[in-house]
Structure 1
Amino acid sequence: MDGTLLRAHGPVSIRLVRSRDARPLQNELVQNRAWLRQWEATSPDGPVSLDMRSGVRRLLQQHRDGVGIPLVMEYDGEVAGQLNVWGIARGSLSSATIGYWVGERFAGRGITPTSVALATDLCFEDMRLHRMEICIRPENAKSLRVVEKLGFRYEGLRRRYIHIDGDWRDHYAFALTREDVPGGVLNRWVTGRVPEDAASVPPADRLPD
């Protein structure tokens, strides 16, 4: 897999991140601090750098090591955000996790669900992975809408799972396996065949009102 990687649907496309993407990605991160900060991964050991030059180098090294696929989300050819496939495991597990962010000015255009569908299809079809997972904070209503639209299956509550915005946060886990979507995630969504309530969180796991 190289920098020519491209999957697209309408004005939305995903491709492998390049070194020259560091500046536009950093600009989006800086301009969207209030929008993104509450959902960003942090570290219990101290501040996390926003230097995307080193961040892109690290992501590309993970790609070379076969444990990640760092993607840029574009809308009409403009960098709109980032989607990372991380924690790739081969062999008997054959799975990975998806994480993403998009700039506020691009919100509401269907970029994130389309990109997640494209990336999941890429992993199932090209990478031959078996299971894709997305973990989302219970408070993140916009991300919960993504898994609802695409029919990711709810699989449970993970207590204090990831360090986000300065503390360990609970997350809901959602997943799909290749058998769930024989015709592809994107195709199932755009043809209106997503099962109802697949992503529904049971009352016992919901945040109190």
Structure 2
Amino acid sequence: MSEHWPIFLTDGELQLRPLRIRDRRRWLHVRSENKDWLSDWEATLPKVPGEKNSSQLPSFSEMVRWHRREGRNGRSYSLAIWQINEQGRNLIGQITMGGVSYGAMRGAHIGYWIDRAYANRGFTTQAVNMLTRFGFEELALHRIEINIRPENAPSIKVAEKAGYIFEGLRPRYLHIDGKWRDHHCYVKENFQVI
């Protein structure tokens, strides 16, 4: 069990916290409004011969339960991105630090999505910085990666603004939008971990 779950990270008007079952309506609404905006960049499940329903995505409730279990076990930290101000609380995206490994590797990877209405306003970079700090300061990770399709210029800009350095190409790295897609790997290292 992870001592770091659940986590709540706040910086100015941005809050990162685990999704709850009661967030379903807001999450589904934001995802529906952004379906076309996100479809080119969304991970998909490949069809695996012999596996029944291998390409079927989980329901919202199944996703929340899976994220909770992974967070409690310290393997993945998936958080909703909320903007909180005088007008209220807006769900504007989601960010995940997954593939957390300890031992000699001490690494993870970050993935994210943002509501189109909140893009290009610095929120995604701020969320990446918040989760990166958590990974380095709380989990004592050495290395965090962000893997991005080469065509996704706005996401590359986020990684670079957050201080991630281009490391190289990963051919056919992730199943995105129905096919195995090449990705550029951006890396940030924590030199405090010796």
Work out which of the residue numbers 141, 150, 175 in structure 2 matches 1:163: 175
1:98-147 deviation line (CA, Å, top 9, x unaligned) = 00111111112211000000000011101111111100000001101101
What's the CA shift for 1:50? 6.2
Structure 1 unmatched runs, 5+ = 181-209
Q: How does 1:97-112 map to 2 (within 5 A)?
A: 97-112=109-124
- Which position in structure 2 is the counterpart of 1:195? none
User: Once superposed, which parts of structure 1, at least 4 consecutive aligned residues long, lie more than 2 Å away?
Assistant: 5-10, 16-23, 46-51
Q: How does 1:112-191 map to 2 (within 5 A)?
A: 112-179=124-191
* C-alpha contact 2:16 2:80 (8 A) present in aligned 1: yes
Q: How does 1:1-209 map to 2 (within 5 A)?
A: 1-3=4-6, 5-45=7-47, 47-49=55-57, 51-76=59-84, 77-179=89-191
- TM-score normalised by the chain length of structure 1: 0.80
* C-alpha contact 2:9 2:16 (8 A) present in aligned 1: yes
Q: Could you say if the C-alpha distance between residues 14 and 120 of structure 1 is closer, same or farther in structure 2, counting changes exceeding 3 Å?
A: same
SS in structure 1 of the partner of residue 45 of structure 2? coil
* C-alpha contact 1:23 1:52 (8 A) present in aligned 2: no
SS in structure 2 of the partner of residue 38 of structure 1? coil
Structure 2 unmatched runs, 5+ = 48-53
Partner Cα separation in structure 2 for residue 62 and residue 9 of structure 1: 24
What's the CA shift for 1:53? 1.6
Query: Which protein is richer in helix relative to its size?
Result: 1
Partner Cα separation in structure 2 for residue 68 and residue 87 of structure 1: 6
Q: Relative to structure 2, which stretch is displaced further, 14-23 or 151-160?
A: 14-23
What's the CA shift for 1:21? 2.5
Counting matched residue pairs gives 179
What's the CA shift for 1:66? 1.8
1:9-28 deviation line (CA, Å, top 9, x unaligned) = 22222123323223322221
* C-alpha contact 2:44 2:176 (8 A) present in aligned 1: yes
Partner Cα separation in structure 1 for residue 97 and residue 190 of structure 2: 16
- TM-score normalised by the chain length of structure 2: 0.86
